[in-house]
């Protein structure tokens, strides 16, 4: 029994982590987010994520910011969608551990 619970927890936590897929985040971001950042900053809008100082300084804050923005834009995203986008932004621009 003692070994079963940790194993069960591990198995249950796997799908949530596997769900954050940067490849799925890019198209969502392109559709819902990029236009406004381009309008504000020009170029491809990515200056929003590379400016100094950046608003966002860790992975948790990035996840929260994506959630707030997606709520504001009525994107209709699920938590997985937000995780995909946060993962893509992190992989591409922020590079938090
Ligand atoms: C209506 C315009 C608009 C839309 C749509 C929008 N954003 Fe933003 N976003 C902004 C503005 C303005 C800021 C800068 C806020 C500030 O400086 O306080 C920002 C900042 C951010 C930042 C922080 C950048 C930093 O400094 O590190 C992230 C991350 C971000 N947006 C993600 C998103 C995501 C993800 C979406 C799509 C769900 C999105 N945004 C949609 C206007 C928008």
Q: How far is the CA of 3 from the centre of ligand 1 (A)?
A: 44
Ligand 1 close to Cβ of residue 86 (< 6 A): no
Ligand 1 close to Cβ of residue 54 (< 6 A): yes
- 14: its two tokens: 């796997």
Ligand 1 close to Cβ of residue 65 (< 6 A): yes
- 58: its two tokens: 């860790």
pLDDT digits (tens, 9 = 90+) for 60-84: 999 999 999 999 998 999 999 999 9
| Residue pair 11/3 in contact by the 8 Å Cβ criterion | no
pLDDT tens for the chain, 97 residues: list them.
Answer: 565 554 444 444 444 455 799 999 999 999 999 999 999 999 999 999 999 999 999 999 999 999 999 999 989 999 999 999 999 999 999 999 8
Ligand 1 close to Cβ of residue 71 (< 6 A): no
20, 26, 48, 75: residue to mutate for ligand 1 pocket, most atoms within 8 A of CB: 48
Q: Which residues contact 3 (CB under 8 A, 6 or more apart)?
A: none
| Residue pair 32/75 in contact by the 8 Å Cβ criterion | yes
């Amino acid at each position: 029994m003692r070994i079963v619970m940790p194993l069960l927890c591990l198995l249950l936590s796997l799908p949530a982590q596997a769900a954050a897929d940067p490849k799925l985040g890019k198209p969502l971001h392109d559709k819902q987010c990029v236009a406004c950042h381009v309008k504000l900053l020009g170029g491809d809008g990515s200056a929003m994520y590379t400016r100094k100082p950046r608003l966002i300084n860790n992975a948790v804050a990035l996840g929260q910011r994506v959630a707030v923005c997606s709520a504001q834009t009525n994107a209709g995203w699920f938590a997985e969608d937000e995780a995909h986008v946060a993962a893509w932004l992190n992989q591409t621009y922020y590079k938090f551990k």
